Amino acid sequence: MFIDQLIKKIKEKKNPSVVGLDPRIEFVPQFIKDKYTEMYKTENKSAAYAMLEYNKFIIDAIKDIVPCVKPQIAFYEAYGIEGLEVFKETVKYAKENGLLVLADVKRGDIGSTAKAYAQAYLGGCFIEVDSITVNPYLGEDSITPFTEYCDLNKGIFILAKTSNKSSEDLQDLISEDKRIYEIVAEHIKKWGEKYIGDNGYSSVGAVIGATYPEVMKRLREVMKNAYFLVPGYGAQGGTALDVVHSFNEDGLGAIINSSRGIIAAHLKDKYKDKYKDEEFYLAIRQAAIEMRDDINNALEKNNKLYY
Amino acid sequence: MFIDQLIKKIKEKKNPSVVGLDPRIEFVPQFIKDKYTEMYKTENKSAAYAMLEYNKFIIDAIKDIVPCVKPQIAFYEAYGIEGLEVFKETVKYAKENGLLVLADVKRGDIGSTAKAYAQAYLGGCFIEVDSITVNPYLGEDSITPFTEYCDLNKGIFILAKTSNKSSEDLQDLISEDKRIYEIVAEHIKKWGEKYIGDNGYSSVGAVIGATYPEVMKRLREVMKNAYFLVPGYGAQGGTALDVVHSFNEDGLGAIINSSRGIIAAHLKDKYKDKYKDEEFYLAIRQAAIEMRDDINNALEKNNKLYY
pLDDT-based confidence at A288, cuts 50/70/90? very high
| Tally of CB atoms within 10 A around A59 | 22
Range of the structural domain that residue A251 is part of: 2-301
User: Strand pairing partners for B214?
Assistant: none
pLDDT at residue A235 in the model: 79
| % of residues, chain A, pLDDT over 90 | 95
In a domain, A101, yes or no: yes
Give the model's pLDDT for residue A214: 95
At B247, give phi and psi (nearest 5°): -95, 150
Tell whether B307 is covered by a domain: no
For residue A62, the one-letter residue type is I
B211 SS3 class: coil
Rounded Cα–Cα distance for residues A18 and A99 (Å): 10
B window 153-182, beta carbon within 8 A of A: 159, 162-171, 173-176, 180
Residue contact A106–B111, C-beta within 8 A: no
Query: Tens-digit pLDDT profile for chain B (307 aa)?
Result: 999 999 999 999 999 999 999 999 999 999 999 999 999 988 899 999 999 999 999 999 999 999 999 999 999 999 999 999 999 999 999 999 999 999 999 999 999 999 999 999 999 999 999 999 999 999 999 999 999 999 999 999 999 999 999 999 999 999 999 999 999 999 999 999 999 999 999 999 999 999 999 999 999 999 999 999 999 998 788 999 999 999 999 999 999 999 999 999 999 999 988 998 899 999 999 999 999 999 999 999 999 987 7
The Cα–Cα gap between B3 and A185 comes to: 38
pLDDT of A306 = 78
Please say whether the beta carbons of B255 and B16 come within 8 A. Answer: yes
Residue A62 within a domain? yes
Query: Would you tell me how many other CB atoms lie within 10 Å of the CB of residue B74?
Result: 24
Q: Three-class SS of residue A50?
A: helix
Q: Any idea of the CA torsion for B221, B225, B227, B233, to the nearest 10 degrees?
A: 10
Report the Cα B197 to chain-centroid distance in Å: 20
Cα separation values, B215 from A211, A218, A257, B178, Å: 35, 33, 39, 12
> Given pLDDT bands bounded at 50, 70 and 90, which one contains residue A305?
confident
Whether chain B has a CB inside 8 Å of the CB on A71: the answer is no
Question: Is B257 inside a domain boundary?
Answer: yes
| Amino acid in the structure at residue B84 | L
User: b/e string for B28-52 if b means 16 or more Cβ within 10 A?
Assistant: bbeebbeebeeebeeebbbbbbbbb
Residues of A in contact with B126 (CB under 8 A): 77-81, 83
Report if residue A226 sits inside a domain: yes
Residue A130: what pLDDT? Answer: 98
* Number of domains comprising chain B: 1
Enumerate residues 200 to 239 of chain B having a beta carbon within 8 A of any beta carbon in chain A: 231
Task: Please state whether B226 falls in left (phi above 0), alpha (psi between -120 and 50) or beta.
Answer: beta
What is the model's pLDDT at position A197? 98
pLDDT score for A246: 97
Each residue's pLDDT tens digit, A188-203: 999 999 999 999 999 9
Q: How far is A156 from A8, CA to CA, in rounded Å?
A: 17
Other Cβ atoms less than 10 A from the Cβ of A128: the count is 17
Task: Pick A74's closest partner by Cβ from B22, B80, B109.
Answer: B109
β-strand B131-134 against A100-107: which pairing, if any? unpaired
Kindly state whether residue A281 falls inside one of the protein's structural domains: yes
CA separation for the pair B206, B222 (Å, rounded): 11
- ipTM score of the complex? 0.97
B224 assigned to active site = no
- What pLDDT shows up at residue A208? 97
CB atoms within 10 A of CB A149: 21
CB-neighbour burial class of residue B176 (10 A; exposed 0-12, middle 13-18, buried 19+): exposed
Is A64:A12 a contact under the CB 8 Å cutoff? no
Q: What is the pLDDT of residue B233?
A: 94
Task: Answer whether A166 sits within 8 Å of B141, measured CB to CB.
Answer: yes
Q: How far apart are alpha carbons A23 and A71 in whole angstroms? A: 9
Would B29 be classed as within a structural domain? Answer: yes
Closest CB to A139 among B108, B136, B166 = B166
| CATH number where A80 lies | 3.20.20.70
Cα separation, B291 vs B294, whole angstroms: 5
Which residues make Cβ contacts (< 8 Å) with residue B244, sequence separation at least 6?
Answer: B298, B299, B301, B302, B304
What is the CB neighbour count within 10 angstroms for residue B282?
16
Please check whether residue B140 is in contact with residue B191, taking contact to mean a CB–CB distance below 8 angstroms: yes
Q: Tell me, yes or no, whether B306 lies in a domain.
A: no
Q: Which helix (H) or strand (E) holds A140?
A: helix A140-147
- A307 has a pLDDT exceeding 80: no
Helix (H, G, I), strand (E, B) or coil at A70: strand
